[in-house]
Amino acid sequence: VCVCVQFFVELKRVTPPTHTHNPTQVLEFSNSGRVIRVRLPLNAFSKNPGGTMFGGYQACLADPIPAFMCVRVFPNYWVATRHMEIDFRHAARADLELRFEVSPEKEEEIRQELVEKGRSTPTFKFAMHLPDGQIATEVTNTVALRPIGYVKPRSKKADAFDTMDA
């Protein structure tokens, strides 16, 4: 998580902890984060014993991308990843390029929901591509946008659990 925060605050090359060669690189960051392209290298640190990229290495990059866009576009809301699914379609035997883009329609849908409900939980789909353009990994990421200071109401079930003797 710390790496991802540093990555997006600086918006330039970032070296994950203990990864000192061939760092992740921002290729494009435009329209306040509505369009993001990032190169994720296949190197000695990202390879599994089979010679392909670790799934967790990909997940670390994919996790904060939609949340970061939402923080930039909807700055008066608390934002966090709520749910993420990753579909590893093809083995990543080379560098990957993450491509994320939000349409004006999706942005308007989120904005309308924030006006109507005061919160939104949008889902974004994006992918990591092999050098030939083929999708290696497809990501579905759901983000929670809540008013700043929002505290989730406690359920009766949670209250009952909290009062149980250990």
Distance CA 60, CA 96 (A): 13
Segment 28-51, tens digit of pLDDT: 999 988 999 999 999 988 999 999
Residue 81's Cβ-count burial label (10 Å; 0-12, 13-18, 19+) is: middle
Report yes or no on whether pTM surpasses 0.75. yes
**Nearest partner of 73 among 109, 99, 40, judged by Cα:** 109
* Structure confidence at residue 1 as a pLDDT band (50, 70, 90): very low
pLDDT tops 50 at residue 11: no
Which of 142, 63, 128 is CA-nearest to residue 89?
A: 128
Per-residue pLDDT of 111-165, as tens digits, reads 999 999 999 999 999 999 999 999 999 999 999 999 988 887 776 665 544 544 4
- Helices 2-10 and 55-62 meet at what angle, rounded to 10? 50
